[in-house]
Structure 1
Amino acid sequence: MSGGEEGGSESGEKIRSAKENLSLILPSLSTTTLLGNQEIYSQISRLLRQPNSGAGDNNLCRWLYDTFQSGVSELQLLVLSFVPIIAGVYLSRVAERKPQAGFEAVLLALYGHQTSSRAGQPVSVTLPDLSQGSVYHESKSPNKNNSSSTVAVVSPALEPHGTVRSTRRARIVGVALELFFAKIPHMPASSKIHFCEFCKIWAGQDGDMYMNFEEDVSGKELELKEKEKEKEKGEGRVPLPWELLQPVLRILGHCLLGTNHNDCELFGAASEACRCLFARSMHDVNPQAILPMRSLLRLSKPLLTNHLLPDPTDLPFSSVISL
């Protein structure tokens, strides 16, 4: 047997084993496919929201952990589709001080995978120096002041962690969201919608006052601030440091401007999440978050208008056949 056939046989065996183990948790499981199955996603999502879902002896958390550690890409994508719910429920329950060893084990597995694949190194990008001519630019007098390119760190270096402490929590969850974003084209729309819903909970702010944020509302500024205080939500509100907020912004940007931005439900959920997070950044006076959140709101406004307007290329629908 060749190496490819042996690897395929091993992957098939792991997938069959994952199905058998999942059938013990979901007795009504009657499907041959796991990835992209909305029925399975709905059932697992419902279980992850149960009051005792994150406990250390939770069978579903153990299944998610073992399934991701299998190394089979199809199974890993399936686990990644539940990252928004796992992260959302986990962070929302931190204030309750309940043990969530099951959720933490899954998050640490994702964090460990990223640490190993990146060898702990940071992810950086080189920003071009616009003062220098490109290779396609002809210049008779080359610039003598050659300045070095700017290197921006997208994701800092990763250190191996075996436990989740309060000082590491945001970083570990943020890395899990980075991994989710890396595979986001393969994620179902329902997973992205759940992520947007949890963003609104994490923000703890009502963003309705920024529905038309570009209009001049200076005359009603005090009234709007009072309205914001009245609508402020404390339940589920979590700290949003930059290491957690940065991957959140990337995911919301995909939901607004990605390949499936024509999904009205997803686009609406992402727009509302952006407004809530913008209200939170304004409330916290966080300049690092205000600028990108406002940029997302400005980009989404013309798209929102297009969603509300009828498409002139659509053919009129009628049940009457005209000859």
Structure 2
Amino acid sequence: MSETTGVLVDAYDTLLLDLDGVVYLGKHAVPQAPEALVKARDLGVRLAFVTNNASRTPGAIAQHLSHLGIPAAPQDVVTSAQAAARLVAEHVPAGSAVLVVGGMGLRMALREHGLRPVTTALDAPAAVVQGIADNLSYGLLCEGALAVRQGAWFVAANGDTTMPTGRGEQPGNGSMSRVIATAAGVEPVVAGKPEPPLHRESMIRTRAERPLIVGDRLDTDIEGATRAGVDSLLVLTGVATPLDVLTAAPHHRPTHIAADLSGLHAPVVPVVRGSGGWTCGGWTAVWQDGELTLTGEGDPVEGLRAASAATWDAVGDGQADEGAVKAALAALGR
């Protein structure tokens, strides 16, 4: 059996945690998440909850987390609404009108930066900011499109095309923002992950020296970590699948992989390259003749880590085809 190198969380002072699909799914906690996060906090690790969802206020999110058994204060929450508000405040005069196509989270964040939220293009807003909201109406989308066509700066809190819920993946703000972008012929500036503003906001708030970005999406959480130059942990409780991992482009490849947040406290079994292939735990992965082979038994995540190492080494800056990794996924039972 391979030697271990301590538990994962020991190497970091701050966890920058995505919420949807990582900590909770809708109203319910992801299994193992509350216990893992309480344990991390008890060890002295700072928890910051970083979400692309701009619909709710930090206070409401903190209350939800506390209800799930994860003690959290509003200052522990960093939202794409806050990142968007800071971005707008740095580009328009203080006190400017900003048309909000979204919920209370965006409105409050803008007010905190001295800006004036409005709901109609008749107020000649300097900017339009869009974030997901359950009650987003056609009329408000029309006002946003009119304002952008009249020259207002267009900012989207995030570009997620979908968001995970207890009922499955539903349209995200990236999908909704296409309405204004298409109608106005203007692409939005995006504040949320993987773009820099949200992680910049997180770093300003936490002053982290050894952060670990934790998420369930390769195209937001993991790419954001890559662009920020910090380590990442992908948990398999949300959007990304083992197939996504094996076929990931370089900027979508996580530093660590875990089944869920309990992996923060699991011993790190190293992936080792040898003459017979890449090994991790009881698994061995070999890339030969353009195809991945995985043999062994034990923790499927360790098998995925061995398979990922072999695949990423073989394809370099490219991406593996789905067909090339199909047999390995079968060995993992996926």
Which category of TM-score, normalised to the shorter sequence, fits these structures?
under 0.3
TM-score by length of 1: 0.26
Larger radius of gyration: 1
- Identify, as 1 or 2, the structure richer in strand: 2
- Identify, as 1 or 2, the structure richer in helix: 1
